[in-house]
Amino acid sequence: MKFFVDTADVDAIRELNELGMVDGVTTNPSLILKSGRDILEVTKEICAIVDGPVSAEVVALEADKMIAEGRHLAGIAPNIAVKLPLTWDGLKACKVLSGEGKMVNVTLCFSVNQALLAAKAGASFISPFIGRLDDINLDGTELIEDIRVVYDNYGFGTEILAASIRSPNHVADVARIGADVMTAPPDVIRKLASHPLTDAGLASFLKDWEKTGQKIL
């Protein structure tokens, strides 16, 4: 499973990328706001750090304007994936932009039918938001599983990008199901390395090592 990092924090992206933990980046207007930087400037910087897809989201609501914004964003770097909302106009824009050979990430997906439409429109990625479904007492990971079955049934090439990842448990769940990609904030990715038994075992080893009175260096 590919790891995308969901942030516009350049320092966090660089740190994780150096560890080999970043296959791509996803951003959105909220993350750009949090960064406090110009969208074109920060997106260009991220694209220079990461080799994989970097999702940059349009803000227009009408198809023609989405297409214009998408073309502009795609001009930032060859690894830009234009991020479009899963609306009828977003699907129209997806069809045009994907037809031009641009990567497209269709976002805010909450149903199998929506995912099916995005695949038909030529989306490179579909982004089901599992955490937001969990927030309204629905099983977000179940949606990933259902989309996996449908895409496999018909051989769609659209990659399932599990989004709105809130915890390490979400990551393990979507990996078991077979999501192609997951995107998560930097802190969630870092938490994947944590386990209380690892901490306890390390503390025990170090306590015993101290008793030996030895040094390695």
Q: Which residues are catalytic?
A: 83
- Region of 215 (left: φ > 0; alpha: ψ -120 to 50; beta: rest) is beta
How far is it, in rounded angstroms, from Cα 130 to Cα 27? 17
Distances (CA, A) of 8 to 39, 66, 142, 200: 9, 21, 28, 34
How far is it, in rounded angstroms, from Cα 115 to Cα 110? 8
How far is it, in rounded angstroms, from Cα 109 to Cα 53? 19
How far is it, in rounded angstroms, from Cα 128 to Cα 126? 6
Backbone angles phi, psi at 204, to 5 degrees: -65, -45
